[in-house]
Structure 1
Amino acid sequence: MAGTTEGSKPDTTFRLSNGKTIILCGYKNPESKPTTYSEFILSVCGQDTIIDFWGAVLTCRLRVNKDTLLVDQLQYLPTGTNFKFQETVWTTEKLHFSGQKIVRELVVNRQIRKYNQDEIQSVLKSYETAKLGLDDSKMELANKLFIATISGDKKARQYFKEFKSKFGTLDGAFSEEYSDLVAMLELWDRKE
């Protein structure tokens, strides 16, 4: 991809209050406001060290808070009114320095909008009455079960775990999406 080859000019620089500069080489999503990035590398200006690579399947928004660079990973989740999918901060990785060494801390966004009891009951009913077979609407349901689960509902958690056995073999993009949700739930369940 253009812009990520060795020796190319950095696309964006982030100046921290402690005088350090972190540079980003990668893909800037031109339509997004504020700007988001995917498939990018972060490195420390003046060092040969690459901090890490964020892949093409991730969408991130970066911002500076004093001496820390914050990398917000965005997910489309049904957190809007009437279960509308919207861009939601899922995790924030905090990058700061201890001397010359970069320190990384990943934090799950615990402020994601939770479902109220009526919304949870609606999701549970949708699952209970859903016809067999897999399609886009079932994957929307998996996402809603995920949000109902992190909202604290035990039955939603049970349904989320049973999702694959109820609707049959997940393949391709459906399998990847469900696996991502399972990994997100495992991250959510870790006590910070």
Structure 2
Amino acid sequence: MKTINILFLISCITISCHSNQTEKEKKTDLVNTQLITKKDSLKGINKKNKNSSQCLCFDGIGSKKGNEPIHTFEFTNGKKIIVCGYLETESEDITISEFNIFDCETEKPLVEYGATRICKIVKKKDTLQINEYTNLPILKNFEWKLVKIGKQTITTKNNQFIISKIVPDLEKFQIDEVVAEKFLKNLKKGQGFGENWETEICFLEVLSLKGNEKAWNILKNYETFIGQETDGAIAETWKDAVSLVEWVKKYK
């Protein structure tokens, strides 16, 4: 009888020990699971904080590393880009010159525009559009106005940036035909260039953009027409005018 009781007691102790060991393992597993879950959760928070932290400018045209960006844009897939450069004006659109647009993740410039370029940055849905402008004498009495001449877009697809080419997107404007005819009539061959050379070249540019072939023939042969070689600012203005008209005509 004693033998049976002893065996029964040993059996109970053994079962109890196994039971306690199992509960300990369960608690250990539970603690480990909680630690892993907490660790993963912290990883997620840190990653989120890192992604949401401010992206500053990098070395580029019109900016130095660490400069505050003019603007930050975040696409629906979470990718961020920043605009760094010289801010001209800011209203509904951002008017800037001499700037880069950087990818926050790679720190690489996606596009860049030099000091002579004037652009407005607008966001349409999930696309950033860069509209390029130039000053032209299209108003009354040959007064100047910024006119849109081209555009470029940045969007994303499959987590990659898609950057378009810069293409002409000429703003529509009207020119008084009587004024245009009088202007062309007053131009004389071999007269050289006077103090209003810039208005003269750029109004020829305006008329050429409107499709006036007489103005275009004079503009592209300007030195021959006026009987004088250009240099410095005059040469630069003339060549820029011819290049713009040729660029717009190429895409028509």
TM-score range, shorter chain: 0.7 to 0.9
Q: For 1:3 and 1:115, locate their aligned partners in 2 and report how far apart those are by CA, in whole Å.
A: 36
Pair 1:174 & 2:234 matched = yes
Superposed, 1:97-116 pairs within 5 Å as: 97-99=156-158, 100-116=160-176
| RMSD, aligned α-carbons | 2.5
The one-letter code matched in structure 1 to 2:243 is: A
Q: For 2:84 and 2:154, locate their aligned partners in 1 and report how far apart those are by CA, in whole Å.
A: 16
Superposed, 1:41-190 pairs within 5 Å as: 41-99=100-158, 100-128=160-188, 132-167=191-226, 168-190=228-250
How big is the shift at 1:143? 0.8
How big is the shift at 1:49? 2.4
Number of residues paired by the alignment? 190
The structure having more radius of gyration, on CA atoms, is: 2
The one-letter code matched in structure 2 to 1:178 is: W
How big is the shift at 1:23? 0.3
How big is the shift at 1:113? 1.1
Deviations along 1:126-170, one digit per CA (max 9) or x if unpaired, are 323x77232441221111111111212221111112212233111
Q: What does residue 21 of structure 2 align with?
A: none
Q: Which structure shows the bigger proportion of residues in strand conformation?
A: 1
Stretch moving more, 173-182 or 45-54 = 45-54
Give 5+ residue unaligned stretches, structure 2.
1-59
Contact 1:3 1:11 in 2 (8 A): no
| Identity level (%) | 25
How big is the shift at 1:53? 1.9
Deviations along 1:82-106, one digit per CA (max 9) or x if unpaired, are 3321111111112222321332132
Contact 1:114 1:147 in 2 (8 A): no
Q: Which structure shows the bigger proportion of residues in helix conformation?
A: 2
What TM-score does the superposition give when structure 2 sets the normalisation length? 0.67
Greater relative contact order (Cα 8 A, min sep 6): structure 1 or 2? 1
Contact 2:197 2:234 in 1 (8 A): no
Give 5+ residue unaligned stretches, structure 1.
none
